[in-house]
Amino acid sequence: MATEGEPQHVAAQRMYDARAHNYEDSHHPSFARRIVEMIKPQPGEAVLDLACGTGLVTFAAAEAVGDRGRVTGIDVSDGMLKIASNRKSKESEQYQNVSFLKHSITDLESLPELKDRKFDIIACASALVLLEDPLAAVKQWVKFLKPGGRLITDVPHPQNQPGGNAWEITGHWLDVSVPMHRMWVENEESLPDLLKRAGLEAEDSTLVEHTEAGVTEHDIDEGEELFEKGWTQELTKAIREQAPKEHAKEIWWQEWENMAVGGKVKEVDGVYVVIAQKPGKDASVSMSALSIDDAGDSVVKGGCRCGSIRYEARGAPSGIAYCHCQTCRKLSGAAFMMFADFPIEAVKITSGKPTSLRLSKFAERTYCDRCGSPISMAYGEEPTEFAVTMGSLDDGSLTPETWSEVRRSHIFIREKAPWYEIPDDGLPRSETMKGFEERSKT
C-alpha cells in the first residue's frame, strides 16, 4: 500500500522487494511462458519487458529473438532485479542479448538508455493494475513502439482475488492510496478499450486461467483467515498506519459479504490478456488521433464514492440540468443537483446494484446503499431517458468540447433555495421542467 504522498513506484518497489525471494514459487513462470507464446517474438526483434521482475518474460523472449535480437528488462525492485541479474551472470553466454535497467515504467522518457530507441514488442505482464494511471502509462509506451509493433499486457478478471478487491475498496473508504488499481476493470472489454484509447489497434481479450480449476468458491467464513493474512502484508501497510484494525476489518468484512451469493464468494483465478498493434506509417487513419470519444461512440463512465457501483453511457448527453427542487437540495446537501440525460438504452450498470428510492409517484432515484452517493433519476413507469448525477461521473469523462455543445438549463426554479442566487450564466430557466405537470397528474 502506498502511504500518503508516496510515489507509486516507491510503493511497488517496497512490495516486490519483499516478494522477490519466492516470486517464482507461483503461477508466474508458466504465465510468462504463455505471454511469450502469444506474442510470438521473431528472430532479430527488439523486445522491451516492462515490470520485468525476475526476468521470466525477458529470458524467454531472449531465447526466441536469438543472437540478432535484443531484450531490455525494466523494473523498480532491487530484489527482483538482483535475481534476474544473477541468472544472467550464471548463463551469460546464452543471454548476451539481455540487459536490465532499474527505473519506473511510468516514466520511460526520462531514461537515457531508451533515448531514440524503438521496439518491435513491448510486454508488461502482471503489472498494469499496479499503476494509478494505466492509460497515461500506455500512451507513453506507445512512443517506444515501431510502426506495426506489438504490445501485450494483462489485467485480472474482476472476480480474481476477491480478498484483494475488498482491500482496495477498504482503502477507498479510508481515503488511503493502495498499490492496486483494479476497479476500472469491469469486464473483458475494459483492457481493449484502454489500449484503443492509447492509439493502438487491440484484439479481443483472451482469458488465461492460472490453475486447472479456474473457478473456486469460498465460504464466507474463510474471510476471517483471508483478512488476518492480508492485514500483515505489504499491501495493507498504509491501512495499518491510518486505521485501527477493527475499523478496517469492519469495512473489509462488509465488502467480503457483499461479494457473496448463496453464502459463497466466487473467485476466478485468471486474467484477461490482450495483444495490440501500433498502426503502420501507411495506415489510412492515424489511430493515435482516435479515441472512444470519436465517431459518435463515446463512452462516459462513472460510479459511486466507494466504487461498488459502476456504470457507463454511450454517446454524448442530450442535456444537462441544474435541478433546484427541494428534494434534490435535501438529498445533495447543496443549492442544486446536476444531472446529465442519456437515452435509457445507452446506459448500463456494469458493476454493483444501486438501491431504488421513490419519493414521488412519477420519479425513481437510485443511490449506493454503502456510501450514499446519488446515482440516477428516471421519470415515468417506462422512461425513455436516464439521468445520471454529474457528481458521479469520472473526472475527464466529459471533455470541454462535449460540455460546450450540450444543452444546459436550470429547472425547478420555483423551489430554488431563498439563500442562493443563480449566476447570470445565460442558460434557460424553467419554473418546473418540460412535461412535469403532465407527469405529476399520472
Which domains are assigned to the chain? 8-289 (3.40.50.150), 299-441 (2.170.150.70)
Residue 13 in this model has a pLDDT that exceeds 80: no
Determine which of 148-152, 222-226, 394-398 has the lowest per-residue pLDDT on average: 394-398
Q: What angle do CA 125, 287, 154 make, to 5 degrees?
A: 15
pLDDT at 291: 29
Residue 22 in this model has a pLDDT that exceeds 80: no
pLDDT at 66: 93
Cell 502484508 locates to 233
Q: Using an 8 Å Cβ cutoff, are 108 and 144 in contact?
A: yes
Tens digit of each residue's pLDDT (9 = 90 or more) over 315-333: 888 889 999 999 999 999 9
pLDDT at 299: 81
Residue 288 in this model has a pLDDT that exceeds 50: no
Q: How far is CA 105 from CA 73, 93, 108, 130, in A?
A: 10, 28, 6, 11
Q: Exposed, middle or buried: residue 264 (CB in 10 Å: 0-12, 13-18, 19+)?
A: middle
pLDDT at 154: 96
Buried b (16+ CB within 10 A) or exposed e, 197-216: bbbbbbbebeebbbeeeeee
Q: Using an 8 Å Cβ cutoff, are 233 and 286 in contact?
A: no
Residue 393 in this model has a pLDDT that exceeds 90: yes
pLDDT at 381: 63
Q: Is 189 helix (H, G, I), strand (E, B) or coil?
A: coil
Determine which of 40-54, 178-192, 333-347, 425-439 has the lowest per-residue pLDDT on average: 425-439
C-alpha cell, 137: 502509462
User: 173: Cβ–Cβ under 8 A, 6 or more apart, which residues?
Assistant: 251, 306, 371
Residue 441 in this model has a pLDDT that exceeds 70: no
Q: Using an 8 Å Cβ cutoff, are 342 and 378 in contact?
A: no
- β-strand partners of 152: 123, 275
Phi, psi of 303, rounded to the nearest 5 degrees: 175, -175
Identify residue 173 by its one-letter amino acid code: W
Neighbours of 433 (CB within 10 A): 17
Q: Is 88 helix (H, G, I), strand (E, B) or coil?
A: helix
Residue 120 in this model has a pLDDT that exceeds 80: yes
Residue 442 in this model has a pLDDT that exceeds 60: no
3-state helix, strand, coil in the chain (%, to 5): 35, 25, 40
- β-strand partners of 165: none
Cell 479456474 locates to 214
C-alpha cell, 123: 510486454
pLDDT band at 376 (very low <50, low <70, confident <90, very high): very high
Cell 448527453 locates to 317
Q: Using an 8 Å Cβ cutoff, are 55 and 94 in contact?
A: no
Determine which of 30-44, 209-223, 260-274, 404-418 has the lowest per-residue pLDDT on average: 209-223
Helix (DSSP H) and strand (DSSP E) numbers for the chain? 13, 20
pLDDT at 346: 86
pLDDT at 314: 85
C-alpha cell, 273: 490478456
pLDDT at 369: 87
When the pLDDT of each residue in the chain is averaged and rounded to a whole number, the result is: 85
- β-strand partners of 50: 74, 124
Average pLDDT over residues 219-231: 93
> DSSP states of 18-64 as a string?
HHGGGTTSSSHHHHHHHHHHHH---TT-EEEEET-TTTHHHHHHHHH
| Spacing of C-alpha 93 from chain mean position | 41
- Of 410, 397, 331, 318, the C-alpha closest to 363 is 331
- N-terminal to C-terminal alpha carbon distance within the chain: 53
Q: Is the torsion defined by CA of 328, 331, 332, 338 positive or negative?
A: negative
- β-strand partners of 52: none
Q: What is the rounded distance in angstroms from the CA atom of residue 3 to the CA atom of residue 172? A: 13
User: 21: Cβ–Cβ under 8 A, 6 or more apart, which residues?
Assistant: 79
Alpha helical stretches, state H, 204-324: 223-231, 237-242, 245-258
Q: Exposed, middle or buried: residue 171 (CB in 10 Å: 0-12, 13-18, 19+)?
A: buried
- Of 364, 375, 387, 378, the C-alpha closest to 305 is 375
